[in-house]
Amino acid sequence: MVKKFLKQKIFCGLDLGANRIKVAILKSSSVDGEYELIGDSISKVHGFKKASVTDIAELSESIRSAVQSASQKAQVKVKELNLGLGSDLVVSRRTSTTIPLVERGHKVITQRDLYKLRDLAKMLSAKIDEELIHDIPQHYVVDDSNQALNPIGLYARKCEINTLMILVNANRLKNIFKAVSQAGYEIAHVMFNTYASASVVLRDQDSMRGCAVLDIGAQSTNLLVFKNGILKFFDKMAMGGDDFSQAIADGLGVSFDLAESIKRSHGYVVAGEQDGQEEILIKQSNAYKPIKRSAIFDALDPKVEAYNTALKEFIFKEHLYDDMSDGMVVIGGGSLLPGLIERIGLAIATPANAGRLRHIHHPQAAYVSELISAVGLSMQGFRTKPHLWDGLGKDNRGVKNFASKLLDLYQEYF
């Protein structure tokens, strides 16, 4: 019993979205490889707009009360967080970095060379005002021409690494750190939130064969494509769930806030169900006004078409179809509009399914699909080994054993 208690660990993830803060507290379960969602909260974010802290005290208070509400449910005390940042805050960049291996002649590439190369790529990737949060090696190029996924043991004069870097503006990050610290918490890891979500909705075989994760947030949509077990592509589109609320506001002549609540309770875009004749009552200027449900569909339909056209063009322009053979997993609050995921799948002619949490028991949370990012972030705490997605040439120096060091030396000198 005592042993079981000692093995049990708890981690907290906090996703700072453009719109909402989501918190999840996970506990490792007694069943191996399973986790339990023991605390959660979703609340509106204050003091944070357009990816910048606008009021540090307000943001700090939003974070404090969001974490407190989750920790009260979980009946645990939270000291540190895995923090997730949205795509408004992050930028991605592809870099290539080369190291010479010998002045003259050839030598065999060792694991140590790859570490050096990866460290150099990290050092050179960030501009003066940026912090690197993920470096994802894509492939190596040996002697300018030979592309390799694992070049260890090859003879070479020089070796190049191609890396997908995910970076964040240093000052914005410092301000967020300050707000978290004022709220009374420490930060264990910082991650791009959709990348963290992918780790709990994708199976390793999906990311090996090739598939996409579409995260429909408030004002933007992130598209991530995984192939050969690593993140190959990330970019964002400037459209999100709020565009659908705005379409209802424009179509029905109501305020954005009312349109938002109409969307959540009555919105639907299911193909073939546009004839909804039943009426609903909406409250306007202290009076109730009846509207047909089909009017909501009619207001949303052109926006859904525009969204799908933009998404299709985006995937086509970036030549992503070939890397999405296992389809698309759709997450984010914007994806909760009934019928939207199905229509996305039809438009891009690729299977699209709602993301669901794998290996997580969640007895309490009814709205668990909205917590995917926070769960992905807290899951990071349980990862003692580098994940498949940390890329080629995994950075596991801490666990590198003596025998493999000897092998490196042998390969280097003989």
Ligand X SMILES: Nc1ncnc2c1ncn2[C@@H]1O[C@H](COP(=O)(O)OP(=O)(O)OP(=O)(O)O)[C@@H](O)[C@H]1O
Residues that bind ligand X (CB under 6 A): 17-20, 86, 217-220, 240-242, 245, 260, 263-264, 267, 332-334, 336-337
| Two structure tokens written together for 307 | 């969204």
CA 246, CA 255: separation in Å to the nearest integer? 9
Give the closest residue to 12 by CA, choosing from 35, 45, 44, 43: 35
CA 164, CA 233: separation in Å to the nearest integer? 8
CB of 166 to ligand X, least distance (A): 15
CB of 18 to Mg ion, least distance (A): 7
CB of 24 to Mg ion, least distance (A): 13
Contacts for 68 with CB less than 8 Å, ≥ 6 apart? none
CB of 63 to ligand X, least distance (A): 14
For 75, phi then psi, to 5°, come to: 55, 45
In the complex with ligand X, the residue whose CB is nearer, 111 or 219, is 219
Task: Judge contact between 245 and 263, C-beta under 8 A.
Answer: yes
In the complex with Mg ion, the residue whose CB is nearer, 142 or 336, is 336
Q: Tell me the CA distances in angstroms from 5 to 10, 11, 27, 53, one per residue in order.
A: 11, 15, 11, 39
CB of 258 to ligand X, least distance (A): 12
> Which secondary-structure segment (H or E) carries 224?
strand 221-227
**Choosing among ligand X, Mg ion, none, which partner's interface includes residue 284 (Cβ < 5 to 8 Å by kind)?**
none
Strands of the 10-16 sheet, one edge to the other: 186-192, 80-85, 10-16, 20-28, 35-44, 360-361
CB of 332 to Mg ion, least distance (A): 5
In the complex with Mg ion, the residue whose CB is nearer, 17 or 229, is 17
Task: Note the residues at the interface with Mg ion (CB under 5 A).
Answer: 17, 217
In the complex with Mg ion, the residue whose CB is nearer, 51 or 280, is 51
In the complex with Mg ion, the residue whose CB is nearer, 17 or 151, is 17
In the complex with Mg ion, the residue whose CB is nearer, 10 or 12, is 12
